Amino acid sequence: MATKTRRRRPLTTQRVLDRAIALADKDGIEALSMRRLGQALGVEAMSLYKHVANKGELVAAMVDAVVEQFELPDDEPAWDAAIRRCAIRAHDLLIEHPWACGLALVPSDSRSVAGPRVRYMEWLLRRLREAGFSPELAYSAYHTLDSHIFGFTLWQLGHADAIKALEAGDGESVEELAARILEQMRPRYPYLAEHGEQHMAADAPDGKQEFEFGLDLILDGLKRQRRARA
């Protein structure tokens, strides 16, 4: 205390986790190294190992911290509205933390039977079964919904990355660059050019709307299936 007042409060697992998430949000998961994380916390890399077992565990905890925020609304009686809200909130969170989606998709070290991911799975399956879905239909419905939530979002993030990579290349504005590429490909790939134009349009549906388009397609299909097999 006398020496410097530079006594920083000691590290905690939570502080490490929070900083790691902040760093990954800012610079991407590939920029998250133990050395850089230590630096961000004013500490050497090896000090982190007092608080996390290894990088894999840290990353798993980061993903859990995101999935934990998934909304699992049980106040909503309609199964489709409940699942819709859950899916949309999940999508929002995964877009907010773009590194989480790919990592959640590959369960890495499935921490046996616990954690937020499992709670979310149980909730989704329960809502389906309680809504009257047969075990067989709930089985497939779960796969389709879960894969849409994580799969579509990862797909969307991939395309967002591609655009970001483009604008990093030149000083040119994205719009100019995109317009040039569009014209370049129009002769050989007219439909792709049309599609690209739609993306550039001011009123183009964004990722969120497209996520919901697919989600509603799936939910509608599931409703119909449930009726057909009832």
Residues of this chain that interact with DNA (CB under 7 A) are 1, 3, 7-8, 10-11, 32-36, 38, 43-47, 49-51, 54-56
Q: Residue 206 binds what, of DNA, its own copies, none (CB under 5 to 8 Å, by partner type)?
A: none
Q: Which amino acid is at 146?
A: D
Residue ranges in 174-203 that form contacts with its own copies under rule CB under 8 A:
181, 184-185, 188-189, 191-192, 194-195, 198
- Single residue of 13, 129, 167, 179 touching its own copies by CB under 8 A: 129
Q: How many residues sit in the footprint of its own copies (CB under 8 A)?
A: 61
Shortest distance (Å) from residue 138 CB to its own copies: 8
Shortest distance (Å) from residue 36 CB to DNA: 5
Residue 134: both structure tokens together? 């047969």
Nearer to its own copies, 34 or 149 (CB): 149
Distance between CA atoms of 107 and 56, rounded to whole angstroms?
A: 11
- Single residue of 57, 64, 80, 139 touching its own copies by CB under 8 A: 139
Helix axis angle for 115-130 and 79-96, nearest 10°, is 160
122 binds its own copies (CB under 8 A): yes
Nearer to its own copies, 26 or 195 (CB): 195
- Single residue of 28, 68, 172, 213 touching its own copies by CB under 8 A: 213
Distance of CA 98 to the CA centre of its chain: 5
Distance between CA atoms of 61 and 75, rounded to whole angstroms?
A: 28
54 binds its own copies (CB under 8 A): no
Burial grade of 229 (CB within 10 A; 0-12, 13-18, 19 or more): exposed
Distance between CA atoms of 122 and 126, rounded to whole angstroms?
A: 6
Which of 62-70, 76-84, 87-95, 117-125 is the region at the interface with its own copies (rule: CB under 8 A)?
117-125
229 binds its own copies (CB under 8 A): no
Could you tell me where the beta strands, DSSP code E, fall in the chain?
none
Distance between CA atoms of 19 and 158, rounded to whole angstroms?
A: 24
Work out the number of other CB atoms within 10 angstroms of the CB of residue 150.
19
Nearer to its own copies, 107 or 132 (CB): 107
Residue 45: both structure tokens together? 């890399």
Distance between CA atoms of 224 and 217, rounded to whole angstroms?
A: 11
Distance between CA atoms of 166 and 178, rounded to whole angstroms?
A: 9
Nearer to DNA, 20 or 137 (CB): 20
Nearer to DNA, 28 or 190 (CB): 28
88 binds its own copies (CB under 8 A): no
